[in-house]
Chains A and B, each alone.
Chain A
Amino acid sequence: MEIIVSQLTKPYGDIPAVTGVSFEVHPQEVVALVGPNGSGKSTLIKTMATIFSPTSGTVTFDGEDIFTADPADLATRVGYVPQHFTYTLYTSVFETILLGRRRHIKWSVSAEELTRVQDALDTLEIGHLAAKNMDQLSGGERQKVFIARALAQDPALYLFDEPTSALDIRHQIDVMEIMREVTRSHDAAMIIAVHDLNLAYRYADVVVMLDHGTRVGYGKPANVLAPSLIEQVYGVTACMVENEYGQFLLPVRKHEPV
């Protein structure tokens, strides 16, 4: 599996949300999209999920243009978790996850599909919530359910739009560990928009930094998440702190231009 994003451009109204962004994704890779609010992370993810059509540029999945591919077929290969969730009352957790199997269900639900749902529940350790209704869950639990839905889909490419924003630090680490493990064991890839630069630093193989819709950094986390670039993009003075657990990025103060 190989995904090539080439010169992708998608304006959002008058705002040039994503402009000429290019990068590549390979199997077992976690690609983190970072950048300040409004830098185009969500638009890029949604365009790659074919929710938006780009005005120019291409995204190819194993050489096939995703915007002309059969949407139903593409849906078996790409799993998307949105930033904002929608759910309906009186829908249980396991039924929500079952929707991830939509493309494999014609009418009745086979035992295999239910087993996949069970596996997704177990992977995220939320089996005890299976029978609950979506409106009985906390924000963090709900977010895990939507991640489980993407897992049940078993795609080759995961597109996550800030999937850990409602989770506390323990569950953030939990989910990131699980997702990295899943990409490795399923030979899948993941593109994930994150705000937390340390999460990107620790879990991503490749970081794409966006600013005002353009790519300003691309490469290994250590190269992209350098204090100089962060200062330039975020306007924040940051420093690298090293201790026995590794290197950490510490935002220090608002950057004062000299």
Chain B
Amino acid sequence: MTAKIPKKARSVHHLYCEGTRKRFTLIITLTALLVISAVISAGIGTVSITPADTLFAIGQGSQQIMDSALPSLQGTIILPVPGNPQAGIIVNNFRLPRIIIAILTGMSLAVAGTVMQGLLRNPLVSPFTLGMSSAAAFGAALAIVIGPGIAATLFFLSYESWIVLFAFLSGWLSMLLIYGIARSRGTNQATLILAGVVIGYLFQAGVLALKYLSNNDKLRELTTWLMGGMWGASWDAVILLIPCCIVCFLILESMSWDMNTLAAGDDVAKSMGINVERTRLFGLMVATFVASCCLAFTGIIGFIGLMSPHICRMLIGNDHRYLIPASALLGALILLVSDTAARTILSPVEIPVGIVMYIIGGLFFLYLLLRSKGRGLY
């Protein structure tokens, strides 16, 4: 009997520790890949910069910020200066904000997708398939067309936060509509997706109407923006997005166990003391907010929200404590690589990142469909 207890203890303990190790390995690997990709991405483009110069340039930029923030320390730390004198300007003013926006957007869309799939217990939902992306795009387009106006001045909103506000409100409206339809018709998986597609079209109609109604300058701004891309990247956008993303990620991460429990079904989750409706609505609201914030700067970018949670779930399972960060990192990596490809493949001409993403995403979706042959997708 005494020999049996340690063996007993080893089995599930062993499995759990093994799983945790695997999950940490994935998260660390993805983090490393993301950092390396960011440095390489900052180096390539019309002007090539060596990775060392890129790092020196980032150091130079940080030193400037530090010097202006803490003038008393000026001159105490001297970092090496890049050999290429233009490197500092190119990296810090143009490429770095774009890279950070790509990372934040990839993370937000992936996290939003993971959370939506977990909360709605439907593996096919994502900001894109639920029409939320189109809705957020409509909101942002509306904000661009009507301009900041008096309301924004009254509430001391910058142009960027004005767009974010509209994108969020419109995205949230679409989520409420879809959730309402799904609830009144029963949360059937197909109903949810169909409702999402229909609502996506309605908002796309709105976007088309706005394009039709707007004048030449606005139309140009709208069209480039709607194609999806990192053109809107600037330090202002980065400063606005970073706190939004951090707060939202932490909130959603803290809901991990509730999402894990929801996988057991609404009834079981309720019997385990979880307020299912409140958890779901709150989680969806935070996910919509973080996704629409980023979409407001980048236009519609699809598939990351669907793709990265799936890949991560296949690799490390369904525990949201690890799934959310892993999926965020993978989403960031995919978008960063796609965006770097989009701006360098035909350099100096940039192609919209959407094109690259849809090719990758479409192929992935096909793979999912073909792989599931014979056993049903879900």
Question: Mind listing 29 A-B residue pairs with CB under 8 Å?
Answer: A49-B267, A49-B270, A49-B271, A50-B271, A51-B271, A75-B271, A75-B272, A79-B271, A80-B271, A82-B265, A82-B268, A88-B121, A89-B123, A89-B378, A90-B313, A90-B314, A90-B318, A92-B317, A99-B261, A107-B321, A114-B13, A115-B8, A115-B12, A118-B8, A118-B13, A122-B8, A127-B11, A149-B264, A159-B271
A67-82 contacts to B, CB under 8 A, are: 70-75, 78-80, 82
Kindly state whether residue A85 has any CB partner on chain B within 8 Å: yes
Question: How many residues of A sit at the interface, in one of the four size bands?
Answer: 35 or more
Kindly state whether residue B16 has any CB partner on chain A within 8 Å: yes
Kindly state whether residue A131 has any CB partner on chain B within 8 Å: yes
The distance in angstroms between the C-alpha atoms of A87 and B260, with both chains bound, is 10
Given the known interface contacts A49-B270, A117-B12, the answer about A86 and B265 at a Cβ–Cβ threshold of 8 Å is: yes
* Residues of B in contact with A (beta carbons under 8 Å apart): 8-9, 11-13, 15-16, 19, 121, 123, 257, 260-261, 263-265, 267-268, 270-275, 313-314, 317-319, 321, 378
The distance in angstroms between the C-alpha atoms of A91 and B319, with both chains bound, is 8
A109 B12 Cβ-Cβ under 8 A: no
The distance in angstroms between the C-alpha atoms of A118 and B121, with both chains bound, is 27
Chain B residues whose C-beta falls within 8 Å of the C-beta of A111 in the assembled complex: 9, 13
Chain A residues whose C-beta falls within 8 Å of the C-beta of B8 in the assembled complex: 115, 118-119, 122
B317 A74 Cβ-Cβ under 8 A: no
Query: Nearest Cβ distance between residue A132 and chain B, in whole angstroms?
Result: 11
B12 A121 Cβ-Cβ under 8 A: yes
A99 B271 Cβ-Cβ under 8 A: no
With a 10 A CB-CB cut-off, give which of A71, A79, A99 has the most chain B CB atoms. Answer: A99
Least CB separation from B276: chain A residue: A51
B16 A74 Cβ-Cβ under 8 A: no
Kindly state whether residue A46 has any CB partner on chain B within 8 Å: yes
B265 A85 Cβ-Cβ under 8 A: yes
The distance in angstroms between the C-alpha atoms of A127 and B373, with both chains bound, is 31
Least CB separation from B377: chain A residue: A89
Kindly state whether residue A105 has any CB partner on chain B within 8 Å: yes
B16 A102 Cβ-Cβ under 8 A: no
Chain A residues whose C-beta falls within 8 Å of the C-beta of B123 in the assembled complex: 89
Query: Nearest Cβ distance between residue A38 and chain B, in whole angstroms?
Result: 18
Query: Nearest Cβ distance between residue B273 and chain A, in whole angstroms?
Result: 3
A102 B267 Cβ-Cβ under 8 A: no
Query: Nearest Cβ distance between residue B249 and chain A, in whole angstroms?
Result: 15
Q: Identify which of B12, B273, B313, B318 contacts A74 (C-beta below 8 A).
A: B273
Query: Nearest Cβ distance between residue B274 and chain A, in whole angstroms?
Result: 8
Kindly state whether residue A96 has any CB partner on chain B within 8 Å: yes
A96 B264 Cβ-Cβ under 8 A: yes
